[in-house]
């Protein structure tokens, strides 16, 4: 018997997961599942900050307008209003629990910077390591709270629903999850009255990404298999500026450099962004990423460059200490030479569909953060709205759960591995992983065609049959679980891309280059959706 019981099971340890844990812990018994260490999350890597209309010349309306413009017609009005109107409260809560945001030189008010797509300076930050500062604070509080139990180096295998176990409930309800302890290779059954998916995005399906290794789309895949609708998976945001370095393929160069005046240039020193958009270097990410991709292909370039050398050294080292240090370790003094950069997969705008309470199609199952599709980001996420969304929906989900009186006494079955054996060909899993990420990069990247998408779908179907055989016959491992999830998420991305017969935001098709008048969501419905 390997069974544990909690009031709330939170799968994921980024900003969304830890914030919701803290907001619930005074009244609920909480379990937090972390695939690796608590610090290994996309939130921890976030350099930019949190968007909020704090400046005197700014307004919530302006923040809403900028979000909608970036989202190219697909942002939901009620969601956009809900998130932006709660931004000040979110920042206030972080300040209250101990996050020390960078202030103006006179100490009066927060220092606000500007990023692409924003019409005003509205990004609150902690120098150039906002995510780390917030996560460090949250982790300290989580580890010291008596009602929160953390499980590091554990990975969720699948959700347990009433439909799966034959529970006599009116609607399909999430009852818990199977969780693999990576260190002892044992699967636990965790029962919970509420389950929160906070697993982050799926950018690890691509060869080049700014995300940590844990971003393998686990929550999206598990939600889909359990019976949740998935929306807008074709909109994968490629961050325009990832450090081009053979040994450091995941280091993001924050958009805030361009907010502080850095320029994108070609090897000959020529600035090029004004050719593509009147907003130049501060254009939304989809426009900048496509522009860089075009210039690289036109010129046969391995990268372009980001130049901030016109600023004094003291400004650069004080404003961007982490970036300066990381680049210096790679032999680049960014006070003297431009930074070589390339686009890389960065953020999933689609995910598990939720309402304003973070509720999914399955009762007692919630999704918050990058794993969720709330309708905030539309066809392209506005910079620094992601951490904000995590905070606002963590609060919304916590309030919903605290009001809810649901409980159950259903007995959950143990994980059954009686008919499987140890895998002796782990190398095949690694090979398949690499193959998947390579063809997703080549066929389902920044610019897409029907032929490329069809070829990708064909390859995914072939690989899934192989992986399903592994999954059926061998004991599970973290690599096998992640590969299974990556293949599922890749299929959802490709199917969504094929379904969209236009170019919009982050989805650009050479076969359908025009944007249709009517903006519609791409919604995929699983065959097992039952209510």
343-366: per-residue pLDDT in tens? 999 899 999 999 999 999 999 999
Q: Are 221 and 480 in contact (CB under 8 A)?
A: no
Read off the DSSP letter of residue 25.
Answer: T
Give the confidence band of 447 by pLDDT, cuts at 50, 70, 90.
very high
Is residue 419 over pLDDT 70? no
Distance between first and last Cα of the chain: 31
Domain ranges of the chain: 3-234+349-403, 236-346
Question: Is residue 239 classed as helix, strand or coil in its secondary structure?
Answer: strand
341: β partners: 243, 304
Q: Of 373, 368, 406, whose CA–CA distance to 21 is shortest?
A: 368
Higher confidence at residue 24 or residue 44?
A: 24
Each residue of 466-494: pLDDT tens digit?
888 887 777 888 988 999 999 999 999 99
Cα radius of gyration (the chain): 22
Q: Of 399, 400, 371, whose CA–CA distance to 89 is shortest?
A: 399
Stretch 285-292: mean pLDDT, rounded?
A: 89
pLDDT score for 44: 56
Is residue 526 over pLDDT 80? yes
Stretch 150-157: mean pLDDT, rounded?
A: 96
pLDDT score for 349: 96
| Per-residue CA distances from 373 to 59, 62, 278 (Å) | 25, 23, 30
- Indicate which residues carry an active-site annotation: 285
Each residue of 503-523: pLDDT tens digit?
999 999 999 999 999 999 999
pLDDT score for 214: 83
Spatial distance between the Cα atoms of 434 and 463, rounded to a whole number of angstroms: 12
Give the confidence band of 47 by pLDDT, cuts at 50, 70, 90.
low
Spatial distance between the Cα atoms of 305 and 341, rounded to a whole number of angstroms: 6
| Per-residue CA distances from 485 to 103, 306, 370, 468 (Å) | 42, 35, 16, 11
Token code pair at residue 72? 């190219």
Spatial distance between the Cα atoms of 300 and 289, rounded to a whole number of angstroms: 16
Q: Are 6 and 31 in contact (CB under 8 A)?
A: yes
pLDDT cut 90: percent of the chain above it: 70
Length of the chain: 531
Token code pair at residue 530? 């039952």
Is residue 186 over pLDDT 70? yes
Higher confidence at residue 405 or residue 2?
A: 405
Spatial distance between the Cα atoms of 396 and 390, rounded to a whole number of angstroms: 10
The C-alpha angle 348, 350, 351, rounded to 5 degrees, equals 100
pLDDT score for 422: 66
What are residue 356's phi and psi, to 5 degrees?
-70, -15
Give the confidence band of 428 by pLDDT, cuts at 50, 70, 90.
confident
pLDDT score for 20: 98
Spatial distance between the Cα atoms of 270 and 305, rounded to a whole number of angstroms: 10
What are residue 7's phi and psi, to 5 degrees?
-75, -45
Is residue 192 over pLDDT 80? yes
Chain-centre distance for alpha carbon 69: 21
Chain-centre distance for alpha carbon 483: 18
pLDDT score for 420: 67
Higher confidence at residue 431 or residue 474?
A: 431
pLDDT score for 268: 96
pLDDT score for 484: 93
Spatial distance between the Cα atoms of 445 and 238, rounded to a whole number of angstroms: 9
pLDDT score for 68: 96
Query: 165-169, 382-386, 432-436: lowest mean pLDDT where?
Result: 165-169
Residue 269: CB atoms within 10 Å: 10
Stretch 496-503: mean pLDDT, rounded?
A: 98
Is residue 167 over pLDDT 80? no
Read off the DSSP letter of residue 381.
Answer: P
CATH code assigned to 236-346? 3.90.700.10
Stretch 124-153: mean pLDDT, rounded?
A: 91
Q: Of 479, 387, 487, 394, whose CA–CA distance to 35 is shortest?
A: 479
* Contacts (Cβ under 8 Å, ≥6 apart) of 398: 20, 23, 24
- Output the DSSP codes for 417-468: -TT-B--S-HHHHHHHHHHHHHHHHHHSSSEE-HHHHHHHHHHHHHHHHHHH
Is residue 40 over pLDDT 70? no
Q: Percent helix, strand, coil in the chain (nearest 5)?
A: 40, 20, 40
pLDDT score for 449: 95
Q: What is the rounded average pLDDT for all residues in the chain?
A: 91
pTM, two decimal places = 0.90
Give the confidence band of 42 by pLDDT, cuts at 50, 70, 90.
low
Each residue of 221-252: pLDDT tens digit?
999 999 999 999 999 999 889 999 877 667 88
Spatial distance between the Cα atoms of 284 and 377, rounded to a whole number of angstroms: 12
CATH topology of domain 3-234+349-403: FAD/NAD(P)-binding domain (3.50.50)
Each residue of 75-85: pLDDT tens digit?
999 999 999 99
Give the confidence band of 219 by pLDDT, cuts at 50, 70, 90.
very high
């Amino acid at each position: 018997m390997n069974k544990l019981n909690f009031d709330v099971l939170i799968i994921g340890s980024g900003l969304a997961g830890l914030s919701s844990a803290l907001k619930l812990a005074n009244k609920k018994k909480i379990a937090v599942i972390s695939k690796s260490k608590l610090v290994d999350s996309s939130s921890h890597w976030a350099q930019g900050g949190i968007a909020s209309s704090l400046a005197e010349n700014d307004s919530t309306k302006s923040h809403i307008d900028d979000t909608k413009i970036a989202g190219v017609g697909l942002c939901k009005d009620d969601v956009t209003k809900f998130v932006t109107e709660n931004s000040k409260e979110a920042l206030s809560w972080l300040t209250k629990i101990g996050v020390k945001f960078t202030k103006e030189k006179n100490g009066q008010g927060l220092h606000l910077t500007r990023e692409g797509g924003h019409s005003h300076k509205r990004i609150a930050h902690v120098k150039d390591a906002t995510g780390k500062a917030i996560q460090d604070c949250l982790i300290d509080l989580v580890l010291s709270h008596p009602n929160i139990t953390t499980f590091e180096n554990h990975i969720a295998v699948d959700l347990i629903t009433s439909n799966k176990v034959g529970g006599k409930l009116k609607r399909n309800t999430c009852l818990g999850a199977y969780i693999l302890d990576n260190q002892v290779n044992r699967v636990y059954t965790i029962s919970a009255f509420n389950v929160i998916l906070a697993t982050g995005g799926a950018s690890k399906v691509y060869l080049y990404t700014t995300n940590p290794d844990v971003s393998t789309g686990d929550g999206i895949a598990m939600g889909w298999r359990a019976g949740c609708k998935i929306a807008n998976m074709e909109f994968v945001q490629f961050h325009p500026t990832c450090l081009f370095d053979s040994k450091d393929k995941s280091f993001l160069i924050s958009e805030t450099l361009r907010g502080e005046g850095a320029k994108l240039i070609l090897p000959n020193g020529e600035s090029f962004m004004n050719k593509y958009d009147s907003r130049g270097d501060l254009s939304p990410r989809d426009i900048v990423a496509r522009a860089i991709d075009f210039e690289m292909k036109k010129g046969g370039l391995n990268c372009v460059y980001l130049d901030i050398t016109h600023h004094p050294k003291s400004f650069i080292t004080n404003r961007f200490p982490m970036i300066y240090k990381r680049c210096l370790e790679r032999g680049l003094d960014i006070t003297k030479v431009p930074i070589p950069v390339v686009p890389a997969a960065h953020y999933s705008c689609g995910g598990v569909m939720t309402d304003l309470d973070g509720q999914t199609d399955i009762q007692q199952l919630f999704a918050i953060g990058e794993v969720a599709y709330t309708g905030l980001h539309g066809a392209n996420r506005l910079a620094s709205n992601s951490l904000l969304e995590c905070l606002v929906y963590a609060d919304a989900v916590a309030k919903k759960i605290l009001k809810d009186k649901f409980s159950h006494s259903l007995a959950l079955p143990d994980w059954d591995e009686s008919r499987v054996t140890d895998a002796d060909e782990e190398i095949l899993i690694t090979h398949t992983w690499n193959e998947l990420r390579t063809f997703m990069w080549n066929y389902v990247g920044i610019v897409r065609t029907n032929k490329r998408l069809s070829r990708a779908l064909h390859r995914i179907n072939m690989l899934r049959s192989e992986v399903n055989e592994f999954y059926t016959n061998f004991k599970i491992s973290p690599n096998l679980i992640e590969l299974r999830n990556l293949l599922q998420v890749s299929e959802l991305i490709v199917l969504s891309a094929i379904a969209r017969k236009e170019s919009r935001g982050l989805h650009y098709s050479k076969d359908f280059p025009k944007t249709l008048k009517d903006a519609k969501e791409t919604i995929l419905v699983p065959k097992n959706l039952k209510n």
